[in-house]
Amino acid sequence: MDLRKYIRDIPDFPQKGILFRDLTPLMGDKDAFNYTVKEIADHFRTFHVDKVAAIEARGFIFGAPIAKELGAGFVPIRKPGKLPYEVVRKEFQLEYGMSILELHKDAFKKGERVLMIDDLLATGGTALAASELVESLGAEIVGWGFVVILKNLKGEEKIGKYHIFSLVNFD
C-alpha cells in the first residue's frame, strides 16, 4: 500500500522553514492506519518484545496498537510534568527547538526487551534521548519503528546502533 498519499505537506509549520509531514490523513483512514500498525508489528513479531515504549504525543497513536498486536505491554515516554511517579528525565534538541522527556523509574525490569516506536524520525534528538532513558533503567532496546523517516536530517546516524524499520522515507 502506498502510504505517501495519506501524508500531507504543510510548509512553515510549526515555524518558518520547516516542512511539516502531517500524518493525520493516514491516521484517519481505516485501511491506511490498520495497514501501518500491522506492517510495523509484523516486522518485529519475531523479536520477542516484552514492552513497546512510545513517545508523546504522536508516538502513542501508533505505539499502543502495535503493543496490542504484539501482545506486549505499553510504556509512555512523556513530556515533562505529566508522569505522576518518580521519573528519569532528559533534555534534548529537536528539529524545531528544545524539549524534555520523562520516563517512570520503575517502567522496566532489568533485561526486558523493548520495541521503541515514534511516528517520525527527523534529527534523531528525540529518539536518542528516549533510548538513553530506557537503557538507563537496564532494559534492552530490540529496535526502533517509525512510520516516516526524514532521511536528509540524518537521524539514523544518531541511533545507528539499533535496528531501525520504517514504512515511508522522504529525502
For residue 8, indicate whether it is catalytic. no
Sign of the torsion angle spanned by Cα atoms 39, 4, 51, 123: positive
Task: Number of residues interacting with ligand ADE: please give it, by CB under 6 A.
Answer: 8
Q: If binding is defined by CB under 6 A, does position 169 make contact with ligand PRP? A: no
Q: If binding is defined by CB under 6 A, does position 54 make contact with ligand PRP? A: no
Choices 12-20, 38-46, 100-108, 138-146; region in contact with ligand ADE by CB under 6 A: 12-20
Helix (H/G/I), strand (E/B), else coil: 145: strand
Cα separation, 22 vs 90, whole angstroms: 26
Instruction: Report the Cα–Cα distance between both ends of the chain, in Å, rounded.
Output: 19
Cα separation, 156 vs 50, whole angstroms: 24
Q: Between residue 81 and residue 120, which ones bind ligand ADE under the rule CB under 6 A?
A: 95, 120
Q: Between residue 60 and residue 119, which ones bind ligand PRP under the rule CB under 6 A?
A: 94-95, 99, 118-119
Tell me if 58 sits within 8 A of 120, measured CB to CB: yes
Name the residues that contact ligand PRP, by CB under 6 A: 55-59, 94-95, 99, 118-127, 155
Catalytic positions: 58, 95
Name the residues that contact ligand ADE, by CB under 6 A: 18-21, 95, 120, 122, 150
